[in-house]
Amino acid sequence: MTIGATRRDLFLGGLALSVIWPLASQPARADSAPASNEAALAAARGQTVYFNAWGGDQRINDYIAWAGAEVASRFGVTLQHVKLSDTAEAVTRVLAGKIAGQMDGGGIDLIWINGENFAAMKKQELLFGPIIQLLPNMHYVDPVSKPTVLSDFAIATDGYESPWGMAQLVFFHDTKRLVHPLRTLPDLLAWAKANPGRFTYPAPPDFIGSTILKQFLLSLATDRTPLDVALDAVRFDEVTAPLWDYLGSLTPHLWRQGRSYPASSTALRQMLNDGEIDISMAFNPGDASSAIAQGLLPDSVRSFVLSGGSIGNTHFVAIPFNANAKAGAVVVADFLLSPLAQARKQNADIWGDPTVLELSLLTGEDRKLFAALPQGVATLSPQELGPVLPEPHPSWMEAIEARWLQLYGH
């Protein structure tokens, strides 16, 4: 008798919930995709744009907050920064929306993205676009001088991404303990042998960890051409042999004898600050200067790059296919690309992230914004940064990461 009562109660409970649910779910606001920038500007006013961007750096968060205030006063768009600890979380959410058949009114309007995350979203058709023809400020971008603005990790963006900033792999050293920068990999190896336990890199597939493998591979390779195209499984061993040889001699002299690796590049920076290691690295040439300004690194830290060029790429913003406020997202993306926003972003005191714009295409007025920028104490000049090496084709990276996991990752 009591069992029966329980079943009936469950039914009643279900009934109660089914009454609550429809009330709680918001009706999806129809937001027809804007066909032009003018249309976007008109539709954007009053919209709230949820910008999903990695939130691990207070400087960047402050910059996004500034951009939010600007787009609010200029275009009447409310910018909400959704702070991610991993961009892939946002990919997961858009995917979950697609699985559930949510084709409009999605929770994410704009994503800070590049590399594997972009490749995944593009492949699964999770993006809205192409969008770059809706962005007037794209006129100041030159794909010839900066080819990575249209090619994200060797994958054509096809206009689905709006470039936001430039990145290049840079090493940082504490001049108190490592006086002279190490410009070649043999130098690094010799130094590591003499100073065991003072160098390491984040465990791939962490972004910086993977980039280090790529950098080593490109620096050691005698012929880089096979890496520009899709993986050739037959030649994998031959092409990557220099990398494994080098790691084989380097690893025993790493931090904790290479038996453990830090989880991320920010952990690495913290370790440099704590004096547990002597070299760290980042994908932003201005990183050390702004870290010094904030007291996150000693002021004795300086930057260096490997001779022969370092890996570089571009990071972007993109709009999910089911974004609720597509017009607002277009307006924000265009503002982030404007000379004003780009110059502020490059300011070493604020963020120090290099611009994607081609300065020669700017008006004199706009160019002055960039000329007046301070250069950080630990930031290398464009000449010192040297040539940019393009990313190898992503298919190579999967195989290299898998091999690394087999050899060192467990």
Partner 1 sequence: MKRILLSTLPGKLPPALALLLLVGTILVGLGLVVVTGFGYLPALGADAPSLESFRRLFADPRLWPSLLATLTAGLVATVASFLTALALAAAFDQAGENGQGWAHRFAVAVLALPHVALALGLAFLIMPSGWIMRTIAQASGLFPIPADWPLVTDRGGVALALGLFLKETPFLFIAYLTALAQIKPASQLLMARSLGYRNHIAWVKLVLPRLYPLIRFPILAVLAYSLSVVDMALILGPSTPATLPVLILRWANDPDLAQRFVAAAAAILQLLLVSGAILLWLLGEVVVKRLCSAWLSDGRRAWPEWIAKSGSLLLRGIGIVVVAAVFLSLLSLLLWSAAMTWRYPDILPQAISLAAWQRAGMTIWQPLGASLLLAIATSITATVLALACIEHEKHVRRYLVQRAERWLFLPLLVPEVSFLVGIHVLLVLIGLNGGWLAVGWLHLLFVFPYVFLTLKAPWRAFDLRFEHMALALGQSPWRVLWRVKLPMMRGSLAWAAAIGGSVSLSLYLPTVLGGEGRIVTLASEAVALSAGGDRRVVGVYGTLQTTTAALFFLAALLALRHRRWTAK
Subset of residues 61 to 90 that bind partner 1, contact rule: CB under 8 A:
61-62, 65, 80, 82-90
Q: Which of 259, 374, 384, 387 touches partner 1 (CB under 8 A)? A: 259
Among 19-27, 32-40, 337-345, 362-370, which window interacts with partner 1 (CB under 8 A)?
A: 19-27
Task: Identify which of residues 135 and 293 has a Cβ nearer to partner 1 in the complex.
Answer: 293
Burial class (CB in 10 A: 0-12, 13-18, 19+), 251: middle
122 contacts: CB under 8 Å, gap ≥ 6: 155, 158, 160
Q: What b/e readout covers 221-242, taking b as 16+ CB neighbours within 10 angstroms? A: beeeebbeeebeeeeeeebbeb
Q: Which of residues 105-124 bind partner 1 (CB under 8 A)?
A: 107-108, 115-117, 119-120, 124
Q: Using alpha carbons, select from 41, 32, 36, 107 the residue that is nearest to residue 335.
A: 41
Task: Identify which of residues 81 and 146 has a Cβ nearer to partner 1 in the complex.
Answer: 81
DSSP state, 323? B
Tokens representing 364 are 């004199």
Cα-based angle 220, 224, 225 (whole degrees, multiple of 5)? 165
Q: Which of 2, 222, 363, 381 touches partner 1 (CB under 8 A)? A: 2
Q: Is 19 in the site for partner 1 (CB under 8 A)?
A: no
Question: Cβ 100 to partner 1, closest distance in Å?
Answer: 4
Q: Is 179 in the site for partner 1 (CB under 8 A)?
A: no
Q: Which of residues 327-356 bind partner 1 (CB under 8 A)?
A: none
Q: Is 300 in the site for partner 1 (CB under 8 A)?
A: no
Q: Is 190 in the site for partner 1 (CB under 8 A)?
A: no
Q: Is 250 in the site for partner 1 (CB under 8 A)?
A: no
Q: Which of 191, 255, 304, 396 touches partner 1 (CB under 8 A)? A: 255
Burial class (CB in 10 A: 0-12, 13-18, 19+), 308: middle
Sign of the Cα torsion 43, 49, 51, 55 reads positive
Q: Is 4 in the site for partner 1 (CB under 8 A)?
A: no
Task: Identify which of residues 56 and 242 has a Cβ nearer to partner 1 in the complex.
Answer: 56
Question: Cβ 23 to partner 1, closest distance in Å?
Answer: 9
Look up tokens 């790529």; give the residue.
Answer: 214
Whether the CB-CB separation of 389 and 174 falls below 8 Å is answered with no
Q: Which of residues 148-177 bind partner 1 (CB under 8 A)?
A: 177
Task: Identify which of residues 240 and 338 has a Cβ nearer to partner 1 in the complex.
Answer: 240
Q: Which of 175, 270, 307, 375 touches partner 1 (CB under 8 A)? A: 270
Q: Which of 75, 171, 261, 351 touches partner 1 (CB under 8 A)? A: 261
Among 162-170, 219-227, 294-302, 303-311, which window interacts with partner 1 (CB under 8 A)?
A: 294-302
Q: Which of residues 273-292 bind partner 1 (CB under 8 A)?
A: 273-276
Whether the CB-CB separation of 166 and 345 falls below 8 Å is answered with no
Cα-based angle 364, 365, 367 (whole degrees, multiple of 5)? 65
Q: Which of 96, 103, 179, 230 touches partner 1 (CB under 8 A)? A: 96
Give the interface size with partner 1 as a residue count (CB under 8 A): 86
Q: Is 102 in the site for partner 1 (CB under 8 A)?
A: yes
Taking the C-alpha atoms of residue 131 and residue 245, their distance in angstroms, rounded to an integer, is 44
**φ, ψ dihedrals at 154, nearest 5°:** 65, 10
Q: At what angle do helices 326-336 and 339-346 cross, to 10 degrees?
A: 60
